[in-house]
């Protein structure tokens, strides 16, 4: 294996985190596309993870006319040390939200939509029924749109995962976020083995699976290699790798700025060990250019929806 990445990981030039490097400059919000998405999100009373999680790509993605909708509110029951989303007691589930999400997807004219949510551990089903209702509403209103879901772990309850899978998303995404050693301090209530089990379960049901990790949290080279090898063994097809950015001074600190050369290395490494698509770069996030990732994967003839849960296929209810 090319060991040049070891030098990059330990290079003190990238250890000073007092200023962001030049490669972390993001596009500012502007243009008609941005305004249109702003109007849709506000007019449909929706939440966007782009805003709630302080995504650096908001300007670029909204200007392209795309946004990642966040269902089940904007208050999370978990307190991950990397995440900007508010922790607290969420409100009641909005039963009208699935129809509004489907309408927004239609008005944006999306070929590929990404939906995510906060964790709703206080609900008996963890929000799984709302997830299923949202997927079905999108499919009914937009039969030609590919649906990617970025879900929580449902505390490892595979029956709840199956509720989501029964609605037939095209891509099932759940992020492991970081290396195993840093799971407890960074993700707090989540577990590495549980996240892997969720991904394996969805793959075992025949779905295309995806996950993502952040770099710059204090991980070591060998630990990143292990994560990528682990998810390959779990059947994951698509991986996103991006730079961790500290949302506030109260959150986990950035340990280093990862240079572009290292992101390029991890892309080569991931593809070499069997991943189908690796999106790797400082500003890459789970839903960043997700439509293009899907197209690259489907172009290779790989994309499949689950075939072990019964019910209709693409475009079904």
Q: How far apart are CA 186 and CA 133, in angstroms?
A: 31
Q: Name the CATH superfamily housing domain 4-11+23-299.
A: Aldolase class I (3.20.20.70)
Q: Domain ranges for the chain, please list them.
A: 4-11+23-299
For residue range 84-136, list pLDDT tens digits in order. 888 999 999 999 999 999 988 888 788 888 899 999 999 999 999 999 999 99
**109: nearest Cα among 142, 136, 140:** 142
Task: Render pLDDT for 297-309 as a digit per residue (tens, 0 to 9).
Answer: 555 445 443 433 3
CA nearest neighbour of 291 among 61, 51, 63, 130 = 61
Q: Give residue 129's Cα distance to chain centre.
A: 20
Whether 87 and 79 have beta carbons less than 8 Å apart is answered as yes
pLDDT of residue 60: 55
pTM metric for this prediction: 0.81
């Amino acid at each position: 294996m090319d060991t040049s990445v070891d030098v990059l990981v330990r290079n003190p030039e990238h250890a000073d985190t007092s200023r962001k490097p030049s490669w972390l400059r993001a596009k500012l919000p502007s243009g008609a596309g941005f305004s249109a998405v702003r109007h849709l999100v506000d007019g449909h009373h929706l939440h966007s993870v782009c805003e709630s999680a302080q995504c650096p790509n908001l300007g670029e993605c909204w200007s392209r006319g795309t946004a990642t909708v966040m269902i089940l509110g904007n208050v999370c029951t978990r307190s991950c040390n990397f995440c900007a989303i508010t922790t607290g007691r969420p409100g009641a589930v909005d039963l009208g939200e699935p129809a509004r999400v489907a309408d927004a997807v239609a008005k944006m004219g999306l070929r590929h939509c990404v939906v995510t949510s906060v964790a709703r551990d206080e609900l008996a089903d963890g929000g799984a029924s709302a997830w299923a209702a949202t997927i079905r509403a999108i499919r009914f209103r937009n039969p030609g749109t590919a649906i990617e879901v970025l879900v929580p772990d449902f505390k490892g309850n595979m029956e709840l995962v199956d509720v989501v899978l029964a609605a037939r998303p095209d891509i099932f995404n759940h992020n492991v976020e970081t290396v195993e050693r840093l799971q407890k301090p960074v993700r707090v209530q989540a577990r590495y083995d549980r996240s892997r089990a969720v991904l394996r379960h969805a793959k075992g049901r025949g779905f295309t699976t995806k996950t993502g990790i952040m770099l710059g949290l204090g991980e070591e080279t060998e630990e990143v290699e292990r994560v990528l090898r682990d998810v390959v063994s779990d059947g994951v097809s698509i991986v996103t790798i991006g730079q961790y950015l500290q949302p506030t001074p109260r959150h986990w600190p950035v340990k280093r700025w990862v240079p572009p050369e290292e992101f390029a290395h991890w892309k080569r490494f991931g593809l070499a060990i069997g991943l189908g698509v690796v999106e790797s770069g400082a500003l890459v996030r789970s839903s960043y250019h997700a439509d293009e990732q899907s197209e690259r994967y489907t172009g290779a003839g790989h994309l499949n929806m689950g075939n072990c849960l019964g019910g209709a296929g693409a475009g079904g209810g």
